[in-house]
Every structure is written in C-alpha cells, then in structure tokens.
C-alpha cells in the first residue's frame, strides 16, 4: 500500500533535485557538475495486464560526461518479489531510453536497507544472467541533522534526513533540531516544509512528536488533516462567518484553493490566469481536495482537471 511516507521519500527528489548532491556523496559517488535534471514518466508498463510503475525516474544530463537515469524506489520493509521488480525496472528503462540506469532505494531502517542492497540474481546453478545491486540510502549513510543552521541552508536535505531517520532512537532529537531550524524561515517557507514533513512522517513512530514540535511554526496543509488544518483553518472560517457552518466551509475552501496554488508555484508549474480563477472561485471541498492531490504530481496545471 502506498503511504504518504512512501510518497515523500522519493518525491522529494522530483521537487527538490538539490538533494541529489548529498545523496550522491552518501552513496560514495561523485556528484555530476552543472547538471540538468528532468523528471520522466515512472510508467514501466509495456502490455497489459502486467503493470509496473517506478516511484520516481530522473534523467540526469551533466555538463561533462554521458547522461544517465536515476530510478528511485522507497521501501519501508522487505518484500519477497521486489528484487525481480527492480531488475525489470532497470532492464526496461535501459532498453527504452538507451541510457545507463542507477537504481536507488530509500529505506528508513537498517534491516530493510541491508536487504535492499541485494544482490538480486537471475541464476541457474553457477550461471547468473542478470544481477541487480541497488544503491541504498538509509540510516547508515544519510547524515543526521545535528546543526539547526543546516536546516536553513538545505531544508530539503533536512526534511529527507528526518524521514529516513524516523524509526531511529535519535528521531525525536533530529526533529527537534529541524523544528528549531525552521523558525528562521519566512511564513510561506515554514508552512511548506512543516507540512511536507508531517505528511512524510505519517504512519511513523514520531508522527505525534512532530505534531507537537510543529506548534513552533505556523503551517497548514488543507485536505490532509494536519495540525494547521485542525486549528488555523477552523479559526479562520469562524472569524469570517462568526461560527456559522457556511462560513466555516467557505474558509476551508479558500484555504484549499490557496494551498493548491502554493504547491503548483513551489513546484515551478506555470499557472494560467484562467486556471487561477477557476481554482480560486471553486467552493466545492471535494473538488478542491481532488485538485490538491493532483497538484502534488501534475506535470502541468491542465492535469488538475483531467477527466472533467
């Protein structure tokens, strides 16, 4: 089952490719210089009914040397058939794009990270036709955040590190450091990163710890049931409509519309004026929630309204 923790563990590389530089260092690889990074479709399906989908696929084009692909998978536990799926992803992407493929697996605990490193082999006796050895990012090689000034300089790395270490004994201390570092952010930046972390820590042992620390900063993420949605939006709606149900709904709709536009802007998606007007004037909460969920992965603004 796909969870918010699973989603943010690989999506952060799409939305914030600056995390790739420390990730390469953690893997013992030289980061490519002056690199152009492009997100590709994760679909690795050839013919139905077999459907396979890589979590995140990035095309890397360095200024020097040859280009390559990075296939990023988030894995929270061992899975018996995952090794064969990963071997398929690498072979398929290599054949489709004619580029070498670096498979990176993001794990939150040591046992899963050790298993994910493989090797996963297609073998008959002493003959191995294919051997897959993923690179693994986990608690052993992703540095813990021990300096709150680093949070201000590299917020994406701080958020990624906090998610990777969410099952470690030091997780509460790491989150405390991250929360203190976020106090230097402007309000919009604080909202963005606090909410990214709250969603990313869903179903982890420290989710409630972060919700307490989150009170240090003002944040909201409408449609996700987060701390700010439960407090700020309710108060905003009551202030507009003096506690009336219709006013509360109006305030929530306004908040969700603002959040959709904010997410698109943060992801660098162009927002035509007609699209802005359509989002801003919508009052149906279910529709706004659907658009918000789509805004997290949409390649362009038009994808918000697909099928409508």
Q: pLDDT, tens digit, for every residue of 258-307?
A: 878 877 887 788 888 888 889 988 888 888 888 877 887 778 888 888 87
Contact 177, 147 (CB under 8 A): yes
In a domain, 195, yes or no: yes
Q: Return left, alpha or beta for 136; rule: phi > 0 is left, psi -120 to 50 is alpha, else beta.
A: beta
- Domain end, chosen from 109, 137, 165, is at 137
H or E, element range at 144: none
In a domain, 221, yes or no: no
In a domain, 143, yes or no: no
Q: Rounded to whole angstroms, what are the CA distances from 140 to 95, 108, 161, 178, 206? A: 32, 10, 11, 19, 19
Question: Quick one: pLDDT at residue 198?
Answer: 85
Question: Quick one: pLDDT at residue 5?
Answer: 63
**Statement to judge: residues 54 and 15 lie in one domain:** yes
Contact 40, 59 (CB under 8 A): yes
- Is 90 exceeded by the pLDDT of residue 102? yes
The Cα 188–Cα 94 span in angstroms is 40
**Statement to judge: residues 34 and 106 lie in one domain:** yes
In a domain, 142, yes or no: no
Tell me the pLDDT tens digit for each residue of 144-160.
Answer: 988 888 898 999 999 99
Instruction: Give the domain range for residue 273.
Output: 227-305
**Statement to judge: residues 152 and 122 lie in one domain:** no
**Statement to judge: residues 106 and 19 lie in one domain:** yes
Phi, psi values for residue 49, rounded to 5°: -90, 0
**Statement to judge: residues 15 and 131 lie in one domain:** yes
In a domain, 44, yes or no: yes
Question: Quick one: pLDDT at residue 254?
Answer: 82
**Statement to judge: residues 120 and 169 lie in one domain:** no
In a domain, 66, yes or no: yes
Q: Which of 190, 264, 185 lies closest to 220 in space, CA to CA?
A: 190
Question: Quick one: pLDDT at residue 43?
Answer: 56
Q: Where are the alpha helices (DSSP H) in the chain?
A: 4-15, 20-26, 82-97, 110-116, 148-153, 155-164, 171-182, 187-200, 207-213, 227-228, 234-241, 245-266, 273-281, 285-295
In a domain, 200, yes or no: yes
Q: Rounded to whole angstroms, what are the CA distances from 264 to 267, 279, 304? A: 5, 12, 10
- Is 50 exceeded by the pLDDT of residue 202? yes
Q: Which of 138, 135, 141, 140 lies closest to 117 in space, CA to CA?
A: 135
Phi, psi values for residue 185, rounded to 5°: -75, 155
> Which two three-digit tokens encode residue 286?
């279910």
Q: Which of 161, 165, 155, 160 lies closest to 192 in space, CA to CA?
A: 155
**Statement to judge: residues 24 and 125 lie in one domain:** yes
**Statement to judge: residues 169 and 121 lie in one domain:** no
**Statement to judge: residues 272 and 294 lie in one domain:** yes
- Is 90 exceeded by the pLDDT of residue 180? no
Strand 135-137 to strand 101-107: parallel, antiparallel, or no bridges (unpaired)? parallel
Question: Quick one: pLDDT at residue 47?
Answer: 41
- Average of per-residue pLDDT across 78-95: 90
Question: Quick one: pLDDT at residue 211?
Answer: 83
The Cα 189–Cα 134 span in angstroms is 34
Q: What is the mean pLDDT of the chain?
A: 80
Least-confidence region, from 25-39, 86-100, 141-155: 25-39
**Statement to judge: residues 71 and 159 lie in one domain:** no
**Statement to judge: residues 37 and 106 lie in one domain:** yes
- Domain end, chosen from 84, 110, 137, is at 137
**Statement to judge: residues 95 and 13 lie in one domain:** yes
Q: How many domains does the chain have?
A: 3
Tell me the pLDDT tens digit for each residue of 241-254.
Answer: 454 455 556 667 78
Contact 92, 121 (CB under 8 A): no
- Is 90 exceeded by the pLDDT of residue 115? yes
In a domain, 32, yes or no: yes
């Amino acid at each position: 089952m796909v969870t918010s923790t699973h989603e943010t563990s690989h999506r952060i590389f799409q939305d914030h490719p600056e995390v790739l530089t420390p990730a390469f260092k953690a893997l013992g690889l030289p980061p490519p210089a002056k690199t152009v990074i492009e997100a590709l479709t994760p679909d690795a399906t050839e013919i139905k009914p077999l459907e396979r989908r890589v979590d995140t696929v990035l095309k890397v084009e360095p200024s020097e040397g040859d280009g390559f692909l990075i296939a990023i998978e988030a894995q929270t536990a061992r899975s018996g058939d995952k090794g064969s799926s990963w071997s398929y992803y690498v072979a398929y992407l290599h054949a489709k794009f004619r580029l070498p493929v670096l498979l990176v697996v993001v794990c939150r605990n040591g046992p899963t990270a050790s298993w994910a490193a493989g090797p996963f082999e297609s073998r008959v006796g002493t003959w191995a036709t294919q051997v897959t050895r993923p690179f693994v990012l986990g608690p052993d090689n992703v540095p813990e955040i021990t300096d709150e000034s680093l949070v201000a300089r590299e917020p994406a790395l701080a958020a990624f590190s906090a998610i990777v270490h969410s099952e470690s004994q030091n997780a509460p201390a790491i989150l405390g450091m991250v929360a203190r570092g976020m106090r230097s952010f402007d309000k919009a930046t604080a909202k963005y990163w606090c909410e990214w972390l709250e969603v990313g820590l869903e179903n982890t042992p420290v989710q409630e710890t972060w919700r307490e620390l989150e009170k240090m900063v003002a944040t909201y993420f409408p449609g996700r049931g987060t701390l700010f949605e439960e407090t700020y939006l309710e108060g905003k709606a009551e202030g507009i409509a003096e506690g009336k149900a219709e006013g509360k709904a109006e305030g929530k709709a306004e908040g969700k519309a603002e959040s959709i536009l904010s997410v698109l802007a943060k992801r660098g998606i162009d927002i035509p004026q007609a699209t802005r007007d359509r989002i801003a004037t919508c009052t149906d909460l279910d529709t706004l929630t659907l658009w918000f969920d789509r805004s997290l992965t949409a390649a362009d603004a038009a994808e918000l309204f697909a099928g409508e």
